[in-house]
Amino acid sequence: MKILFVEPFGKHGGHHSPESRRAIEALVNCGVNVTMVTFDGVIGDWTDVTKIEGNLSVGSQYRVTWLLRLISRLGQFLLLKPFTDLIETVSTTFLAFRKSRNTSYEAIHFFDGNPAFAVPLSAAFFTKNRNLVLNIYGTPPGWWVKSWINSFGYLLKKKDYWSCLRLIRDRLTELKLVRSARKTVYRKAMSRNKCHFICHTKEIKESYRDYLDGMFYDKIHVIPLGRKQPEPEAAALEKARDYLRLPQEAKIFLHFGSYHAAKNIKVIFQAVQDMSKTFILFFVGWLGRWDNVRNPALLAQEHGWGKDTIVINKFVSEEEKHYYFHAADAILLTYTQETILSVSVINDACQFALPVIASNVGQLGEYVTTHGLGTTFVPDNPDSLRQAIVSFLSLTEVELATIKTNFHRFAAELPWQEVANRYMSLYSNDLPAKQEG
């Protein structure tokens, strides 16, 4: 089986590069010949050590290094990022369809894209007899809006300019004429090609039940991201802290990953500002130069935790990640009340058996409470988070060992190999793919 795997955001922070790598490695282990299509490669250049059939990028195919540098620079600024995302998505989509004209592939898997699946599905209007598998990470345009004007004012007051731009984009796409045109294009594309959609939570699928008269709903398959069994501690806590130059005796709460609108960073500092400084807040992730609203260094200063907060603003490779997780006592997963997307960091916590303190919302809250992976709190509620932290600090060694054991059962429930098999059933149209909540 031969497929094209399209990841336009391989050089971005966040889940894009790591989850692409895990998915591709699982597919390769199942015997799939994978050719990867990117805009400008991936962070870490891991394609050299992964047994993929081919590795194509817009940069290598068209020799537009000036464009790559320009997009990389402009994408760091909030107001321009939606436009650079669109350029990356359009160009990689074009390259994937161009490649599929010359070589026969069972499927083209669009693992990422912004806005969602709109670009590849619109391009499919001009093709036929392709088998397209498209990932959906968010809700339909405007699904989360009750009042366009009130929502815009609320986001503007919060200085959440990225979400303001998203709101404007969604409002334009929901204009009657635009909506009708999109519906016509999508219906034609799906009639000329075989199209399947993947999302990671049942809540996201439900958000599409009535969107464009439900034309996508029955084609959406709920397949969460896979999980790795907890690894033997390659670095003991002491060794990991030595490597990262962290204090040996302190309790350390890790916050890992890039920062986006679904994460509530501020609630952490609101929760701890009156607590005794018996622990350290450790933020690791690619913040970027454009986002001061969720900047933990600034929030720490504002709430009197500057000396007890450590911020490392960089992308962490898979090879180095274990140091950060083994150095911590727990990981903070502070997502907003509105979150219905999948939280990929829970799978990192699983891989390193690191207890979590998590918002009790959606799939994340269900995982933590059902499988006993840590403690939960009411989303966006500083008092509830403060109590969750106190509860965690009072856990006994036996209770902590039980949490670590629970991660093994959690991982066994949905290993990456099973996820790869479900992907392959969509590639080969051997349906239905098993549904997962």
Give the tens place of pLDDT for each residue, 337-377. 877 778 889 999 999 999 999 999 999 999 999 999 999 99
**What element of type H or E holds 96?**
helix 81-102
Work out the burial of residue 248: count CB atoms within 10 Å of its CB; fewer than 13 is exposed, 13-18 middle, 19 or more buried.
Answer: exposed
Cβ distance 114 to 82 under 8 Å? yes
Task: For residue 280, name the pLDDT band (cuts at 50, 70, 90).
Answer: very high
Structure tokens at 380: 């966006």
Task: For residue 25, name the pLDDT band (cuts at 50, 70, 90).
Answer: very high
What's the whole-number mean pLDDT along residues 56-79? 82
Closest CA to 364 of 381, 351, 384, 347: 347
All domains in the chain, ordered by first residue = 2-226+415-427 (3.40.50.2000), 237-413 (3.40.50.2000)
Tens digits of residue pLDDT in 96-150: 999 999 889 999 999 998 877 899 999 999 999 999 999 998 888 766 666 777 7
Identity of residue 276:
S
Structure tokens at 299: 């929030």
Q: How far apart are CA 407 and CA 335, in angstroms?
A: 21
Cβ distance 331 to 253 under 8 Å? yes
Task: For residue 430, name the pLDDT band (cuts at 50, 70, 90).
Answer: low
Cβ distance 219 to 196 under 8 Å? yes
Closest CA to 22 of 1, 50, 45: 50
Tens digits of residue pLDDT in 387-415: 999 999 999 999 999 999 999 999 999 99
Cβ distance 364 to 358 under 8 Å? yes
Tens digits of residue pLDDT in 226-244: 999 997 765 688 999 999 9
Tens digits of residue pLDDT in 162-215: 778 778 877 887 788 988 999 999 999 999 999 999 999 999 999 999 999 999
Distances (CA, A) of 410 to 124, 227, 373, 390: 38, 8, 9, 25
The pLDDT of residue 170 is 79
Distances (CA, A) of 214 to 23, 58, 119: 29, 34, 19
The pLDDT of residue 409 is 95
The pLDDT of residue 432 is 53
The pLDDT of residue 47 is 80
